[in-house]
Structure 1
């Protein structure tokens, strides 16, 4: 399969990138309050790719083991959101969240809890803002911390037809000079992506005030 029929056209992609940017900047404000220092989250690229491609993209960028915070979301569009970063960054993130006040042992004790809370702030901030702007409610599950590689995080099976779509958002993190970087991925099936496309079209119509391409 060369081109994905569910891929967004240029206008939809621009609108989605704008929505994600607004969501991410809200999440950055919430995270800044948590860590007490400047947080920069930027979204250089938004891509709709197959799960296998997404797993490969992460593997090419990150050779170290990964850690992810996962939250499922449901509503007008549903799926699974993942905040993914290299495991080597995880304690640095906990250090930022706890303001460098804990010993190494104490940090390890609360690592999962701190990561889950951070993931919750970022993913919830991002998705809740997007849902708000698309004028649809969205319910989020409690955060779960996972460890593994892209294959595990995207729950790829060995079936050749397992090529669900991933809305892959590559996000640059920076917390006041700390070496922390990450990605957000949204896993959605085709019907959900179709619903999201329709909501984006409605959003474009509201913002631009034209019918665009009806149909």
Structure 2
């Protein structure tokens, strides 16, 4: 791991958090339209950590059984975007989307399709906004569903193969009227972190040249 890629300056962290906030706010608006209920968001967190540490960050409150919608993305930097929540809450999330009039059997039957579509809308909205803010384009894969603990979601190898440090950008979301809480997370390897740092610094320079000195 090179020293430059392994660290973010304070201004890089702030810029990434602000950009992520734009993306996740767009994603939250999409989720709000889907469920018709208020969505609460936390402040985005940006960290460079090991995959093992990232896996532990999503296993909060002893919730090791997780379900995630994941999509890979490619462009000037590449990685994986995930919509993650405890498996125990996945049916409640689906019910909030398809409606309370459906039976449990219906909800179970609809779960895979509803989760994939939800993840696709939210993750695409988030990544498209981030790419647009940075004046770049992204290509995203079709969504897939992954179940397991944090290591399964982040494909943690033991011993780690290849780059084990990643940029972990995540934000909590909470569907206020229901017991559904989760993460939106972006995972990038060191090569993509270096590319992203260059793009973010170009973004920072452009902002600093504006008369207001603010991203607006």
Q: 1:179 to 1:41 in 2, by over 3 A?
A: same
Q: How far apart are residue 185 of structure 1 and its match?
A: 2.3
Q: Deviations over 1:36-93 (max 9, x none)?
A: 2222233342212111111122235443400011100000111111111100110111
Aligned counterpart, 1:48? 48
Task: Measure the CA separation in 2 of the matches of 1:67 and 1:113.
Answer: 13
Aligned counterpart, 1:70? 70
Aligned counterpart, 2:16? 16
Task: Measure the CA separation in 1 of the matches of 2:69 and 2:191.
Answer: 24
Q: 1:173 to 1:160 in 2, by over 3 A?
A: closer
Q: How far apart are residue 97 of structure 1 and its match?
A: 0.7
Aligned counterpart, 1:213? none
Partner of 2:88, secondary structure, is helix
Q: How far apart are residue 162 of structure 1 and its match?
A: 4.9
Are 2:182 and 1:182 equivalent residues in the alignment?
Answer: yes
Q: 1:101 to 1:165 in 2, by over 3 A?
A: farther
Q: How far apart are residue 32 of structure 1 and its match?
A: 1.3
Instruction: Kindly indicate whether the alpha-carbon contact (under 8 Å) linking 1:24 and 1:42 is maintained by their aligned counterparts in 2.
Output: no
Q: 1:155 to 1:68 in 2, by over 3 A?
A: same
Q: How far apart are residue 169 of structure 1 and its match?
A: 3.0
Task: Measure the CA separation in 1 of the matches of 2:80 and 2:50.
Answer: 14
Are 2:127 and 1:127 equivalent residues in the alignment?
Answer: yes
Q: 1:64 to 1:152 in 2, by over 3 A?
A: closer
Q: 1:60 to 1:107 in 2, by over 3 A?
A: closer
RMSD: 1.9
Partner of 2:32, secondary structure, is helix
Q: Deviations over 1:177-204 (max 9, x none)?
A: 2111111222222111111111100111
Aligned counterpart, 2:213? none
Query: Structure 2: 5+ residue runs without aligned partners?
Result: 211-216
Aligned counterpart, 1:109? 109
Task: Measure the CA separation in 1 of the matches of 2:136 and 2:198.
Answer: 12
Range moving further from structure 2, 48-57 or 137-146: 48-57
Are 2:161 and 1:152 equivalent residues in the alignment?
Answer: no
Q: 1:154 to 1:64 in 2, by over 3 A?
A: closer
